[in-house]
Amino acid sequence: MASFQIIVGSMLGGTEYVAEACEETLIELGHQVKVHLQPQFGQIPSNNQIWLICTSTHGAGEHPDNIKNFIEDLTKSDQDLSTCQFLVIGVGDSSYDTFCLAAKNTEKLLISNNCKKITPLFTIDMQANIDPELLAQQHMINKKDLLY
Ligand SMILES: Cc1cc2nc3c(=O)[nH]c(=O)nc-3n(C[C@H](O)[C@H](O)[C@H](O)COP(=O)(O)O)c2cc1C
């Protein structure tokens, strides 16, 4: 069993549903899960944790408003996150040049703080005719052997 902190970046609510679908699947897989809808960097446990960041992209490749403080604090922080692992799910629209840029930039920031990437960025393209919650849940199940 692992302990997950799900960190959500969502402007219109869609990515929040994706995060909650992941929460449901991770609990079914036997993990402990806490969801952060207004993430505060200093208040999220990192030691021996898995951070699952689910974020959409808005503006010209920007983070959603609710996760901006978290990203700013992470950018400024020199905290060593080497005892923390992460995976990122990006929700976006491939008609933008900046497809899932916020998710890509989040990965870079976490890596620069020594956080260990478990699996490559998983992107969900809202341009396609898909069920984003189901895709995210399938991703969790596909990667379940890496989540410990
Ligand atoms: C004003 C606006 C700007 C957007 N900019 C981008 C973008 O730069 N890159 C991208 O991949 N998707 C972009 N999108 C698509 C959103 O990421 C997509 O609609 C997503 O599902 C929104 O998730 P949310 O409901 O969690 O905010 C944009 C959408 C809107 C409405």
Q: What is the mean pLDDT of residues 98-118?
A: 98
In ligand 1, the atom with minimum distance to the C-alpha of 102 is 9
C-alpha to C-alpha distance for 93 and 112, rounded to whole angstroms: 26
Mean pLDDT value across the chain: 97
Mind listing the pLDDT tens digit for each residue in 49-96? 999 999 999 998 999 999 999 999 999 999 999 999 999 999 999 999
Q: Measured in angstroms, how far is the CA atom of residue 92 from the centroid of ligand 1?
A: 5
Walk me through the domains of the chain, giving residue ranges and CATH numbers. 9-21+28-98+105-146 (3.40.50.360)
Q: Is 99 in the pocket of ligand 1 (CB under 6 A)?
A: yes
Q: How far apart are CA 123 and CA 136, in angstroms?
A: 9
Q: What is the CA radius of gyration of the chain?
A: 14
Instruction: Kindly report the protein residue whose alpha carbon is nearest to atom 9 of ligand 1.
Output: 99
Q: Is the pLDDT of residue 129 over 90?
A: no
The CA 44 to ligand 1 mean position distance, Å, reads: 25
For range 102-118, the mean pLDDT: 98
Please tell me the distance from the alpha carbon of residue 10 to that of residue 12, in angstroms, as a whole number. 6
- CB of residue 100 inside a 6 A radius of ligand 1: yes
